Chains A and B, each alone.
Chain A
């Protein structure tokens, strides 16, 4: 039941990503933080690897050789799709 839900509900937020997921960014939270995300390499349409999801929802993303930690509150506001 649960897995079926996730499959159909493709459009989720980053905090829901699991370790090993390849995720594509759909929508950034808006405001000043967007500029900071885009600069560091997290922009809409970008595909990244979820390297680790810590208990509590802090997400570690990998983009090529770069590893970026995103706090839970921020991850909650970033919309992604799982392919």
Chain B
């Protein structure tokens, strides 16, 4: 330890006037490497909820709360202060503005985490160190000499176990006693020239380290070689400190992370992957999207809520009501059409007959309103009826199911390992392994997967992943319909389907990879320890996310429904059908009515596929139709979310692209097989 190189300089302390009001509004920023428990600490202080999960990069933006008259900020995890990506920029700005930095570190990875600590100290910030994961170091019999660590760094060190809320009562002291630590002397001399110009020390350091943003802000030359030199020196200082303060009873590195290792060993990892996928499939693909949704959507949503709302509206609005009675196999056994030109209310006899007839088991009731307003709000695409059914009885159960599985996966530490395993495969299509997360989610629900693309590193990767999701990935509801349509058709059509969709995936991603400038970022990911998910965390996260999703999606769903509803009542929907008709019959070699499927498909892709049930098609025609529908644009909800995530230009381009591709490829296949 070259302690002669380190000196306690406290340049700003003398300037600080102990002004109570200043401290009242102190900005306290929680800073630390990814996955060290910052958000855990923040949740404790704020009583609010921000996401906590077991992979690096959970927090992507700043959250603020008030605590004892101070402002506390949660920040994205960073390995150092610089401007390499969006999260770093966000964190950099808030650190520069801060009065006090609470540096949270993972005691298990002290060697990695202290790099940032030393950088924060070199910036001249008032810092306190939270040595988190104290429970784990005890368990593993690792000894960290906190007294010595505190002496070497020149700042206070507090031991905590944030998940269990142990030691968090010391946070007040940590904020109160935060101070400027022991800085590297030679750096300080170099910084002095900038400090003399009136540049704050923190930014002076960033200039020395060649940070693009800060150098251009102050119009200084960038010297990247200096950055590397400073970084290497800092890394060596960290290694020296670790040698002094850390002792391990067991041999270094011999920790039990068996499951983590197994999931990365190809021999055991692949079976583990299939096991997890099968479980997820049965839970989401079968249990939630078939059984639960069938009950909530059809029985509760359509059968009870919509039926009652529409019956009520029929009292006042002129309506024609079709009632079909189906047996268990879906065959028509009875049918009646009721006509209420002046509303049900004026014809009580017919009304009670309708009520009796339509309450039989197996009854399927369709209301047709002629009043445009009634149609707009309560008709087939009714803004109120459709929005309620989709949002609460279809999306809500799916969303809850997804968030539950995601929370389990997130908390286990498996996701970064899965990303690692599949990295090479994803490299071939211009992505890195992390893209596996949104794409797997896409097989469940494209809408949610669109949001998850946020975890990718570059805009380029987000674009490619979003395009793949919209073009080729069928969602769970659609997969279900496809399964039914193809069952009993033999393996031939199935192989054609998989072959065509697979080829489109390969061609699409290869083209995008060539077309979009730049390169995908290389995989460099820190693997957290695997562990059994904490159920309280899982349920809490699920509840908060579901609430957030519903709040946001609700509005947009309403807007989408209103648009389709307006098309319906103005007759535009029929015009659309006619426009598509020639394409349908000549190019796709399907009956004219199949065009309905594509109109419906815009609302929901599985509706499009379901529209094919009623047509009399040959097996090969069905194959063409489901290929076309799969490549076709996903549902309205995902379209809207995509626009929000990726912007208008990209969103519309992808959307139009799905139209062109769907019809082109579908027709091409039709020329060969029909």
Contacts and interface: CB of A to CB of B under 8 A. Distances in A.
Interface of A: 32-41, 43-44, 49, 51-52, 54-58, 60, 62-74
A70 B433 CA distance: 11
Interface residues of B, number: 40
B501 interface: no
Contacts of A41: 111-112, 115, 235
B523 A68 contact: no
B421 A39 contact: no
Contact of A72 (B79, B416, B421, B423): B423
Interface in B89-123: 108-109, 111-112, 115-116
A74 B524 contact: yes
B525 interface: yes
A33 B80 contact: no
10 contacts: A35-B82, A39-B115, A39-B231, A40-B526, A51-B264, A52-B265, A54-B424, A56-B423, A58-B523, A64-B253
B208 to A, nearest CB: 13
A29 to B, nearest CB: 9
B355 interface: no
B527 A38 contact: no
Given A38-B231, A55-B266, A60-B420, A68 B433 contact: no
Which 7 A-B residue pairs are closest in the complex by CB-CB distance?
A71-B523, A56-B424, A74-B522, A69-B420, A67-B527, A39-B79, A71-B522
A72 B228 contact: no
B524 A69 contact: yes
A23 to B, nearest CB: 14
B463 interface: no
Contacts of A66: 109, 111-112, 526
Contacts of A34: 228, 231
Contact of B80 (A35, A60, A68, A70): A35
Contacts of A43: 231-232, 235
Given A35-B84, A72-B423, 7 more contacts: A36-B524, A43-B231, A62-B253, A64-B252, A68-B524, A69-B525, A71-B423
A54 B264 contact: yes
A38, A66, A71: residue with the most chain B Cβ atoms closer than 10 Å: A71
A60 B420 CA distance: 9
Interface of B: 79-80, 82, 84, 108-109, 111-112, 115-116, 227-228, 231-232, 235, 252-253, 255, 257, 260-261, 264-266, 416, 419-421, 423-425, 427, 432-433, 522-527
B231 A73 contact: no
A40 B82 CA distance: 14
Q: Provide the main secondary structure of the chain B interface.
A: helix
A32, A64, A65, A74: residue with the most chain B Cβ atoms closer than 10 Å: A65
A72 B423 CA distance: 8
A73 B109 contact: no
A73 B522 contact: yes
A64 B524 contact: no
Contacts of B232: 38, 43-44
Contacts of A72: 423-424, 427
Given A60-B527, A65-B253, A73-B427, A54 B421 contact: yes
A46 to B, nearest CB: 8
Contacts of B419: 69
Contacts of B111: 41, 63-64, 66
B526 A54 contact: no
A52 B253 CA distance: 14
A38 B228 contact: yes
Nearest to A19: B265
A4 to B, nearest CB: 28
A38 B146 CA distance: 25
A69 B231 contact: no
Contacts of B80: 35, 39
A70 B111 CA distance: 18
Contacts of B423: 54, 56, 58, 69, 71-72
A37 B523 CA distance: 11
A33 B522 contact: yes
B424 A37 contact: no
Contacts of B425: 56
Nearest to A28: B228
A4 B523 CA distance: 32
A36 B84 contact: yes
A35 B524 contact: no
A61 B416 CA distance: 14
A34 B82 CA distance: 13
